Structure 1
Amino acid sequence: MGFDEEWAGIRSAAPEQAAVDMRLNQLDGGGGGGAAGGQPNLATAPAKKRAAANTIETELEPNTDKAAKWADAATTAAVGGFAGWETAAGLKTVEATWDKQVKTLLGRLASEKAALRATAGTFGQQELDTRARIAGVQPASGITKY
């Protein structure tokens, strides 16, 4: 399939994907915001995000660090066994690359953990802020004065 055919297919499918409904002067159909009768498409589970962050902290990071140290010890022993050979120099290069990759992986795990915790907190705070704003809305009716 050439570019032109693919682009034509994408353009013809776009209107179907971007259906927009507008309702004026009527109540919501019960499904919340969004398209008529559609389900909300934003769902978050702060507890699951915290659990995932805790798994990173208690399992993935320590086990990755442990595996890295084990591999370093084994490689150091192999380098000693091949002393004077080109293989020893090659193993040192492999070990340096491995250490760099482990450091990158641990950094990535730490950033994912922080992002999960921040996202869980942000969505939780957004919920509280929205509830507070809704609770603070005063009825527009003058009958509330009586």
Structure 2
Amino acid sequence: MTWDEWERIKADASTRQATSTQLNQLAPAAGGGVNAPDLASCPAAKKAAAKAIGQDLEPGVARDGRHAAEQMNTTVKEFGPKDGYGWDTSGALKRAHKTWESQVKMLLGRLASEKALLSETGAGFRSNDLGIAAQLTRQSRIHGV
């Protein structure tokens, strides 16, 4: 590598660093995204996300999970013993499917949890704010005068 190439690489790196996103700075005043509030501060976005989880994701995962279970049960049965002998694949598929079913159940539980948290966040923030205000009011010397 020549000296000129090295200087060009350093210049490119410093240009990229200057224009890249840094993690040690505050988010833009309008939130993340293009002049729109981000999910953390936009009740409408949280409500829409909770609705999408409840109406799209949860039913889709449950439906697809049932479909996959039906297909897997059919496949396990086909590979299973008919005349006393069966394929080793049948038992392996059955064990793999059991693991997969538990993962689908965990995913559905996680989706339900996330949906509930998105729905409750606004109430939680209000409750925290009121509690803090009550604490400050009790501790304030000026307010008690």
Task: Give the TM bin, normalised by the shorter chain.
Answer: 0.5 to 0.7
Using the alignment, how far apart are the partners of 2:78 and 2:92 within structure 1?
Answer: 13
* CA offsets 1:72-97 (integer angstroms, 9 cap, x no match): 00100100110121110011011101
Aligned pair in 2 of structure 1 residues 78, 119: CA closer, same or farther (>3 Å)? same
Q: Following TM superposition, where does structure 1 have runs of at least 4 consecutive aligned residues deviating by more than 4 angstroms?
A: 38-43, 124-127
Report the number of matched residues: 98
The aligned residue for residue 98 of structure 2 is 96
Please report how far the alpha carbon of residue 125 of structure 1 lies from its aligned counterpart in structure 2 after TM superposition.
5.9
Using the alignment, how far apart are the partners of 2:120 and 2:95 within structure 1?
Answer: 37
Runs (5+) with no aligned partner, structure 1? 1-16, 19-37, 134-146
Q: Superposed, which structure 2 residues align to 1:20-59 within 5 Å?
A: 39=29, 44-59=41-56
The aligned residue for residue 69 of structure 1 is 66
Q: Superposed, which structure 2 residues align to 1:119-134 within 5 Å?
A: 119-123=121-125
Q: CA RMSD in A?
A: 3.2
One-letter code aligned to 1:108:
R
The aligned residue for residue 114 of structure 2 is 112
Using the alignment, how far apart are the partners of 2:64 and 2:29 within structure 1?
Answer: 45
Q: Quick one: percent identity of the two aligned structures?
A: 39
Higher RCO (Cα < 8 Å, 6 or more apart): 1
Using the alignment, how far apart are the partners of 2:106 and 2:48 within structure 1?
Answer: 23
Using the alignment, how far apart are the partners of 1:60 and 1:40 within structure 2?
Answer: 29
Runs (5+) with no aligned partner, structure 2? 1-23, 32-37, 81-85, 135-145
Please report how far the alpha carbon of residue 61 of structure 1 lies from its aligned counterpart in structure 2 after TM superposition.
0.3
Q: What TM-score, normalized by structure 1, do the two folds share?
A: 0.56
Please report how far the alpha carbon of residue 100 of structure 1 lies from its aligned counterpart in structure 2 after TM superposition.
0.4
* CA offsets 1:70-127 (integer angstroms, 9 cap, x no match): 1000100100110121110011011101100000100100110011011133346678
CA contact (8 A) 1:52 1:116 kept: yes
CA contact (8 A) 1:50 1:120 kept: no
Q: What TM-score, normalized by structure 2, do the two folds share?
A: 0.57
